[in-house]
């Protein structure tokens, strides 16, 4: 169905050869069938034809060009411009620049569904990454980055300490008499212990009992671990 | 006689004579574009010669990947777009002066002289109207129209060269044609216009 208004919108494109051949043939047939459109299209074509002719006519005649060439040659000779580049470096840099420019301006045609899917994947990846970042994950050490396992463990290391203990022995009279048999056995157990029980009597029990001991500074007991039985 | 490629290579090596020979092949097209863009003869000469000087300076960048004229036209377009001298002037037709004097000199009889004069005057009138129409649009619209109508470039090529959309190119062409029709009076009196055109330019 021919529509004058919509057809006329395409007249310029048709006259300038910007319409596909099939559509152009169709449009031309419409124009031929409609007197109004035909007149409009012909006037457009005439305008273009006349303007093209006029543009050609405006250009100077033959007598102009020798002088034009002379002036151009004089300007060229006067100018210091040279087309040859100063050296290979500049040519290389310009080539690199061109390559970079080409790389930067290269575009790839991607179908809309594929582009949307790609965008969606990127979005999901971003949100997952954000979610993982919010969880408190210890930072990776440089060693861990190279694949070696690092375990951190707390261990108690036994520290041996020397402890000086002063042994004070108190002897009571009653217990001394009742336990005289036991004391006798003790004296035999200690070779350096003086045999003073019979000579000093009960009053000198304290003095007798301390006589067998060395000064505290010389007695050193080292307790490593354990109960009374381990005490040396 | 050297081929174009040979001349280009010689010019790339710094041979200015070879470049002048190369320029002769395209000087009219470049000058014509410059003239219709600037709408003034002296400006057109300056502008076109500036194009040639820039082309010579940039000739080492020509890699034979496109035709020489395509490369040259790109330089021309850039040169036009950088041309900042926005002068508002009317088209002063000098065609009539030179052409009429020439034509009159080579014709002897009065009848021929009268016909030539009439034809020249008609041509002058149409050229002036076309130039006025081109003056009524913006420089970019004018350039787009010239690239389309005079150079035969496609909408897509123009949009790439000028860095604008195809829609903008179409609008520019449409706007310039509307101005041309307005100036040439096509819409008002198609019959008289046609007869005038037929008698003058469209002989």
Report the pLDDT averaged over residues A71-92: 70
pLDDT band at A138 (very low <50, low <70, confident <90, very high): low
Domain assignment present for B90 = no
* Chain A residues with CB-CB distance to B121 below 8 A: none
B12 with B77, same domain: the answer is yes
pLDDT band at A196 (very low <50, low <70, confident <90, very high): very low
> What tokens were used for B63?
């890699």
CB contact under 8 A, B149 and A52: yes
Confidence check: pLDDT of B201 > 60 = no
Domain assignment present for B182 = yes
For residue range A170-190, list pLDDT tens digits in order. 666 555 455 455 445 444 444
Of B84, B117, B149, the domain-final residue: B84
B177 Cβ contact partners less than 8 Å away, ≥ 6 residues apart:
A12, A44, A47, A48, B145
Q: Which of A76-80, A204-208, B9-13 has the lowest mean pLDDT?
A: A204-208
Give residue ranges of A with CB < 8 Å to any B CB: 12-13, 16, 18, 39, 43-44, 46-61, 63, 65, 68-69, 71-73, 75-77, 79, 81-85, 91, 94
Query: Is-contact B151 B53, C-beta < 8 A?
Result: no
Domain assignment present for B96 = no
pLDDT of residue B17: 87
Smallest CA–CA distance, residue B109 to chain A, in Å, is: 23
Confidence check: pLDDT of B95 > 80 = no
Instruction: Name the 3-class secondary structure at B124.
Output: helix
A44 Cβ contact partners less than 8 Å away, ≥ 6 residues apart:
A11, A12, A15, B177, B181, B186
**For the domain that residue B49 is a member of, what is the CATH number?**
1.10.1740.10
Q: Other CB atoms closer than 10 Å to residue A26's CB: what's the count? A: 13
Q: Chain-wide mean pLDDT for chain A? A: 72
pLDDT band at B177 (very low <50, low <70, confident <90, very high): very high
- Quote the CA–CA distance of A67 and A79 in Å, as a whole number: 18
B197 with B111, same domain: the answer is yes
B146 with B64, same domain: the answer is no
Q: Which residues pair with A163 in a beta bridge?
A: A221
Confidence check: pLDDT of B168 > 50 = yes
CB contact under 8 A, B123 and A54: yes
Q: Which domain holds residue B175?
A: 106-201
CB contact under 8 A, B177 and A48: yes
pLDDT of residue A109: 79
- Quote the CA–CA distance of A133 and A118 in Å, as a whole number: 22
* Chain B residues with CB-CB distance to A74 below 8 A: none
Q: Which residues pair with A221 in a beta bridge?
A: A163
CB contact under 8 A, A50 and B174: no
B60 with B19, same domain: the answer is yes
Give me the percent of chain A exceeding a pLDDT of 70. 55
Q: Which residues pair with A56 in a beta bridge?
A: none
CB contact under 8 A, B20 and A73: yes
B52 with B124, same domain: the answer is no
Report the pLDDT averaged over residues A158-167: 68
Structural domain tally of chain B? 2
Domain assignment present for B93 = no
- Quote the CA–CA distance of A48 and A200 in Å, as a whole number: 153
Confidence check: pLDDT of B196 > 60 = no
Residue found under tokens 């494109």:
A13
pLDDT of residue B60: 87
**For the domain that residue B179 is a member of, what is the CATH number?**
1.10.10.10
Q: What is the ipTM of this complex?
A: 0.71
Of residues B82, B12, B20, the one with CA closest to residue B52: B20
Query: Is-contact A50 A76, C-beta < 8 A?
Result: no
């Amino acid at each position: 169905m021919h529509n004058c208004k919509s057809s006329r919108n395409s007249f310029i494109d048709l006259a300038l050869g910007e319409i596909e051949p099939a559509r152009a043939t169709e449009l031309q047939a419409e124009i031929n069938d409609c007197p109004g459109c035909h007149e409009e299209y012909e006037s457009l074509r005439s305008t273009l034809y006349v303007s093209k002719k006029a543009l050609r006519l405006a250009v100077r005649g033959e007598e102009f060009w020798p002088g034009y060439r002379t002036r151009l040659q004089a300007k060229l000779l006067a100018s210091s411009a040279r087309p040859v580049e100063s050296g290979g470096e500049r040519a290389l840099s310009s080539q690199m620049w061109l390559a970079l420019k080409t790389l930067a301006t290269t575009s790839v045609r991607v179908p809309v569904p594929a582009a949307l899917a790609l965008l969606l994947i990127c979005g999901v990846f971003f949100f997952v990454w954000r979610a993982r970042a919010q969880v408190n994950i210890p930072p990776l050490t440089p060693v861990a980055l190279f694949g070696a396992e690092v375990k951190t463990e707390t261990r108690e290391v036994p520290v041996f300490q020397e402890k000086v203990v002063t042994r004070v022995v108190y002897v009571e009279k009653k217990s001394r008499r009742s336990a005289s048999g036991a004391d006798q056995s003790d004296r035999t157990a200690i070779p350096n212990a003086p045999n003073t029980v019979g000579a000093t009597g009960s009053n000198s029990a304290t003095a007798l009992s301390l006589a067998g001991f060395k000064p505290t500074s010389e007695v050193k007991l080292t307790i490593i671990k354990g109960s009374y039985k381990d005490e040396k | 006689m050297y081929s174009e490629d040979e001349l280009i290579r010689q010019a790339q090596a710094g041979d200015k004579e070879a470049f002048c020979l190369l320029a002769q092949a395209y000087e009219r097209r470049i000058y014509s574009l410059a003239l219709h863009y600037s709408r003034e003869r002296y400006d057109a000469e300056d502008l076109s010669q500036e194009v040639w000087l820039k082309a010579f300076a940039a000739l080492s960048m020509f890699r034979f990947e496109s035709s020489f004229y395509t490369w040259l036209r790109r330089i021309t377009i850039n040169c036009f777009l950088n041309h900042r001298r926005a002068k508002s002037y009317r088209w002063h037709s000098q065609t009539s002066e030179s052409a009429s004097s020439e034509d009159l000199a080579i014709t002897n009889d009065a009848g021929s002289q009268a016909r030539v004069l009439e034809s020249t005057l008609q041509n002058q009138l149409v050229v002036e109207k076309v130039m006025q129409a081109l003056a009524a649009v913006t420089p970019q619209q004018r350039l787009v129209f010239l690239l389309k109508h005079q150079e035969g470039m496609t909408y897509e090529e123009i949009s790439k060269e000028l860095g604008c959309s195809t829609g903008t190119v179409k609008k520019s062409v449409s706007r310039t044609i509307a101005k041309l029709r307005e100036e040439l009076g096509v819409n008002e009196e198609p019959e008289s216009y046609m007869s005038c055109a037929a008698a003058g330019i469209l002989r």
